[in-house]
Chain A
Amino acid sequence: MINWEMLSVFVIVFASVTILAFWAARWRPGDLNRLQEWGLAGRRFGTIVSWFLLGGDVYTAYSFVAVPGLVFASGALGFYAVPYLIIVYPVVFLILPKFWTVARHRGYVTPADFVRDRFDSRTLALLIAITGILATMPYIALQIYGIEVSIAQMGVPIEISLIIAFVILAAYTYTSGLRAPAMIAVVKDICIWLVVLVAVIYIPIKLGGFGVIFKAVHAKALASKGTFHDVLPSSEYSAYATLALGSALALFLFPHTLTGILSTNSRKVVRRNAAMLPAYTFLIGLICLLGFVAIAAGIEPSPIYKSNIALPALFAKEFPAWFAGFSFAAIAIGALTPAAIMSIAAANLFTRNIYREYFRPTCTEREESNTARTVSLVVKLGALAFILFFPLTLAINLQLLSSIWIIQTLPTVFLGLYTNWFHRRALIIGLLAGLLSGTLMIISRGFQSSVFPVSIGGLTIPMYAAVPSLVVNLLFCVGLTPLFKMYGVFNGRDNTTPTDFEAHPVPGSSESLLLAQMTQNKRDEVSEKEDVLNRVR
C-alpha cells in the first residue's frame, strides 16, 4: 500500500536535489573534458564544501541504516563506530596533508598514480587499483540497499524505484562529475542533521524519555543474554578495539575518501577538515542511540532487511507521514552522494591505472575524461544489477571484506609517503598475502562476522580480521625487503623527489616581490590617469 503523503514529500525533495545536481556542472566552472576537473572538480573545494563532501563520503546511507541496525541487534558493540570515527581524524591530520601535497605537485588523481611513481612498478599500481575498485564496488551496492530499505517503508514498487533513482544518479554524475555529489552533500547533510536532531529529541519525548529507553534496552539484554549487551562485556573488548582501529586505518585508504581529499584546494583544508569532521561523529553517536530508541519503540526485525530496518521502521512508526517521507528522502540522498563519489573514484582508478597504463598510453585528456564517465556508468549499473539480481547477502558479505582488502594498501600508500625503503616486490607479496589471509579469515567464519579468533600461544583473542591480516602483510614487507636487497633484485627508480612532499618547495618567499609589483602597477595606473588629465587640461 503506497503512502502517498510520504511519497509526495520524498519525490519533491528528491526532484529538488536532482535539479541541483545537474546545475552543479556550472558550479565553479572548469573544463569537464579533463579528468582532474570531472573527477576531482579541479581541486577547487575549500573548507566548507570539503566538509560537506567528506561528510557525505564517510557517513553514508548504509551507515545510517547499518549502524543503528547493529546497535539494535547486538547492543554496545555497535557503538564501535564512535571511537572508530574519532581515531580516524588524527590519522587524516597526520598523513593526508602529505598525500595531498605530493598529489598536487605531481598531478595524481588516484593513490595508484602515486604508487606507480614512488615504487616504479606498474604491477603494484595495478594491484592497488584493482584492490581499490573491488573494495569500492560492494559499498556502492550497499548504498542502493540503503535506498531500498528506506523506500520499502513507503510501499512503492522497489525495483522500478531503484532503477529511476540510479538512472538519475548516473545521468548527473556523467554530466557534472564530482561537483554533483559535492553540491548534493550540502543539502543531504542539512537534511540528515535535521532528521537526526528531531529524532533524538522528538521520539524519546514521545516514548517517555531516555530513562524509559535504557530500561527497555537493559530488559532486552537480560532477555537475550549472549547475543545482546547493553554494556560491552570483557569478551568483546578486543573485537571492539580492533574494529575501531582497523576501520579507522582503512577508511581513508578507500578510493572515494581519497578522491574527496584530493578535491580540496589546500593541505590546510585537509587539516581543518580533520579537526571539523568529528562533528559528524557526534551525529553518528546520536544515530547509534536511535538503535536503542528503536528497541524501546517496539520495532521488530524485518524478515527481508532484518535489523537494518530498525531506523526506517522507527521513523515510519513515530514520525508524521510527511516528516517520515522527508527522512527517507534524506537517507536516499545520503546514498546518492557516496555512490556518486565511489563510482567516480572507481572510474578514475580504471581510467588512469588500467586503461591509460595498459591500453591507451597516448590517450588525450578528452578521451580520458570520457572513458571515466563511461566507466562510472558501468560501475553504477553493475552495482544496481548486483542488488536486483543477486542475493542481498552477497553484497553484505563482500562489504565485510571491503575494509579488510583496502587496509592491505596501507604499507604501499601510507607508509610509502614516508619511506621508499620497501622493495616493490616485497610490497606486492605482502599485499597479496594480506588479501589472501584476510579473505580466508572471513570465509572461515562463514561470512557471518568480520571478527576472527586469533590464537597466540594458547591465548585466543577475537580480532577484526583487518588487523591480523595487515600484520601478515607488514611481516612480508619488512621481512622480504632486506632479502630482495641482499640479492640485488632490481627495485626500480623512485620518480618522486623530497621536494614533492614539501609544503613549501621553494626556499624563501616571493611575497615581497609580488607585493612590490602590485604597488608598482597601482603607481603606473595613477601616473597614467594623471597624464590623461594633464593632456585634457
Chain B
Amino acid sequence: MADMLTSVLSRDQALMEILLAQREERVPMLDGANLARTDLRKTDLSGGNIREADLSETNLSGAYMCGAYLRKANLSRANLSGTDLSKAVMVGVNLIGANLRGAYLRGADLRATDLAGVNLSGADLSRADLSETDLIGADLSKSDLSEVDLSRANLSGANLAGADLSRANLSKAILNGTDLSRTDLSGAKLVSANLNHANLSKANLIGANLNLAILSNANLSGVYACRAFLRGANLVEANISIANLSGAYLSRAYLFRAFLSKTDLSKADFSRANLIGADLSGCDLSKANMSEAILQDANLSDAYLRATDCTGANLQSARLTGAVLTNSVFINADLQNVQASTAEFSDVDINAFYNILIDAYTARKLGIFAG
C-alpha cells in the first residue's frame, strides 16, 4: 500500500503547487508530478517530495533542490548544470543523457543508481553515497569526490581524471580501465578494488589503502604513494615507474613482472612480496624491507639498496649490476646465479651474508664466502 503513488499531478497542477509552495515557504508535494519539458530554472524545490516525478528534458539549471526526495524520478536529458542537489535522495533516478556539469551533489544519496555515461564533470559529490552505482563510462573528470562512498560501484571505463577522491571509499569497486590520472586519492580506501588496466599516472595515493586491490597492468607511473597500503595487492605487470612509494606497505604484494624503474621505494615494506621478473632498475630501495621477498629474475641494476633488509629474500638470477648495496643484509638469502660483480658487494659486511644460499660459481664471481 505504502509504495503506491496516490496522487499524480498534471503539468499545470504541478506548476501551481511549486508556485504556492514558494509563496508559502513550504515543502512542495510533487510525487508523481508531470513536469516534463518545463523550465524550472532557479526554482526552490528543496526538501520537496518529488518521488517518481517526470522531469525529463526539464531545465533545472541553478535550481535549489537540497534535501529533495527524488526516488525513481525521471531526470533523463534534464539540464541539471549548477543545480544544488545536496543531501537529495536520488535512489533509482533515471539520469540518462542528463547534464550534471557543475552540479552540487554533496551528501546526496545515489545508492545503486544507474549513472552509466552521465556527464558529472566538475560536479561536487563530496560525501555523497554512490555505493553500488553503475558509473560505466561516466565523466567524473575534475569532480569533487572527497569522502564519497563508491564501494562496490562499477566505474569501468569512467573518466575520473583530475578528480578529488581524497578519503573516498572505493572498497570492492570495479575500476577496469578507468582513467584516474592526476586524481587525489590520498587517504582513500580501495581495499579489494579492481583496478585492472586502470590509469593512475601521477595520482596522489598518500596514505591510501589498496590492500588486496587488483592493479594488474595498471599504469601507476609517477604516482605519489608515500605510506600507501598495498598489502597483498596484485600488481602483475603494473607500470609503477618514476613513482614515489617511500614508506609504502607492499608486504605479500604480487608484483610479477611489474615495471618499477626509477621509483623511490625507500623504507618501503616488500616483505614476502612476489617480485619475480620485476624491473626495479634505478630504484631507490634504501632502508626498504625485502625480507623473504621473491626477487627471482628481477632487474635491480643500478638500484640503490643502502641498508636494505634482504633477509631470507630469494634473489636467484636477479640482476644487480651497478646496484649500490652498502650495509644491506642478506642473511638466509638465496643468491644463486645472481648477476653482479665483486664491486657491487664490496661494501657489504661479511656478517650480512650469514647462512646465504649461493652456488660456488656465483660466490667466486662476487668474492663472497658464505659463513
Contacts of A374 in B (CB 8 A): none
Q: Is the CB of B89 within 8 A of A518?
A: no
Q: Chain B residues near A509 (CB, 8 Å)?
A: 22
Other-chain contact of A495, B84, B107, B131 (Cβ < 8 Å): B107
Roughly how many angstroms separate A32 CA and B3 CA in the complex, as a whole number? 8
The answer to whether A266 and B27 have CB atoms under 8 Å apart is yes
Among A36, A105, A365, A495, the one with the most B-chain Cβ atoms within 10 Å of its Cβ is A105
Bound-state Cα–Cα, A501 to B41, Å: 21
Within 8 A of A (CB), among B269-307: none
A26 and chain B: residue at smallest CB distance: B1
A508 interfacial contact with B, CB 8 Å: yes
Please determine whether B107 and A43 come into contact, CB atoms closer than 8 angstroms. no
Nearest-neighbor residue (CB-CB) of B106 within chain A: A495
CA distance A5 to B356 in the complex (A): 102
Contact of A106 with B11 in the complex, beta carbons under 8 Å = no
B34 to chain A, nearest CB (A): 11
Q: Which residues of B contact A107 (CB under 8 A)?
A: 47, 67, 87-89
Evaluate contact between B127 and A495: CB separation under 8 angstroms.
yes
Q: A265-B27, A503-B25, A506-B43 are in contact. Are A517 and B64 (CB under 8 A)?
A: no
* Closest B residue, CB atoms, query A521: B12
Q: State in angstroms the CA–CA spacing of A504 and B46 once bound together.
A: 10
Cβ < 8 Å to B, chain A residues 261-291: 265-269
Residue of A nearest to B51 (CB): A31
Smallest CB gap from A522: residue in B = B12
Residue in A34, A104, A495, A522 whose beta carbon sits within 8 Å of that of B46 in the complex: A104
B313 in contact (CB, < 8 A) = no
A500 touching B66, Cβ below 8 Å: yes
Q: Does B222 contact A (CB under 8 A)?
A: no
Q: Is the CB of B19 within 8 A of A506?
A: no
How far is B71's CA from A42's CA once the two chains are assembled, in angstroms?
A: 14
Tally of A-B Cβ pairs under 8 angstroms: 108
Residues of A within 8 A of B2 (CB): 29-33, 37
B15 and A514 contacting across the interface, CB-CB below 8 Å = yes
> Is A44 part of the contact surface with B, judged by Cβ < 8 Å?
yes
Tell me if A362 is interfacial: C-beta within 8 Å of chain B: yes
Chain A proximity of B38: nearest CB distance (Å): 6
Is B49 within 8 A of A515, CB to CB? no
* Count class of interface residues, chain A: 35 or more
B8-41 vs A, CB cutoff 8 Å, 1 = contact: the mask equals 0001100110110011111101000000001111
Interchain CB contact under 8 A, B25 and A268: yes
Which of B2, B38, B39, B88 has the most CB atoms of chain A within a 10 A radius of its CB?
Answer: B2
Tell whether, in the assembled complex, residue B22 and residue A510 are in contact, meaning their CB atoms are under 8 Å apart.
yes
Q: State which of A31, A495, A506, A517 has its C-beta within 8 Å of the C-beta of B3.
A: A31
What is the bound-complex CA distance between A525 and B89, given in angstroms?
34
Residues of A within 8 A of B25 (CB): 266-268, 503-504
List the A side residues contacting B129 at CB < 8 Å: 362
CB of A516, distance to nearest CB on chain B (Å): 8
Task: Give chain B residues whose Cβ lies under 8 Å from the Cβ of A511.
Answer: 19, 22-23
Residues of A within 8 A of B88 (CB): 107
A510 pairs with B51, CB closer than 8 A: no
Please determine whether B47 and A104 come into contact, CB atoms closer than 8 angstroms.
yes
* A105 to B27 CA separation, bound complex (whole angstroms): 10
Q: B234 to nearest A CB, angstroms?
A: 26
- Contact across chains for B87 and A510 when beta carbons are under 8 A apart: no
In the complex, whether A456 has a CB less than 8 A from a CB of chain B is: no
Q: Are B29 and A44 in contact (CB under 8 A)?
A: yes
Q: With an 8 A cutoff between CB atoms, is A208 at the interface? A: no
**Is the CB of A498 closer than 8 A to any CB of chain B?**
no
Which B residues are CB-close (under 8 A) to A391?
A: none
**B106: A residues at CB distance < 8 A:** 495
Of residues 13 to 38 in A, which have CB atoms within 8 Å of B's CB atoms? 29-34, 36-37
- Which residues on the B side are within 8 Å of A37 (C-beta)? 2
Structural contact, B46 and A105, CB atoms closer than 8 A: yes
Interchain CB contact under 8 A, B41 and A106 = no
A97 nearest in chain B by CB position: B25
Q: Does B63 contact A (CB under 8 A)?
A: yes
* B334 located at the interface, meaning its Cβ lies under 8 Å from any Cβ of chain A in the complex: no
Cβ–Cβ contact A42 & B49, under 8 A:
yes
Q: Within 8 Å of chain B (Cβ to Cβ): is A223?
A: no
CB distance from A260 to the nearest CB of B (A): 16
- A152 CB to closest chain B CB (Å) equals 39
B62 at the binding interface (Cβ < 8 Å)? yes
11 contacts between A and B (CB under 8 A): A33-B3, A42-B49, A104-B67, A105-B67, A106-B86, A265-B26, A266-B24, A362-B111, A503-B25, A510-B44, A518-B16
Q: A29-B2, A33-B2 given. 18 additional CB < 8 A pairs? A: A29-B6, A30-B2, A31-B3, A37-B2, A105-B46, A107-B87, A266-B26, A269-B26, A365-B89, A365-B91, A495-B127, A499-B64, A505-B66, A506-B44, A509-B22, A510-B44, A514-B43, A518-B15
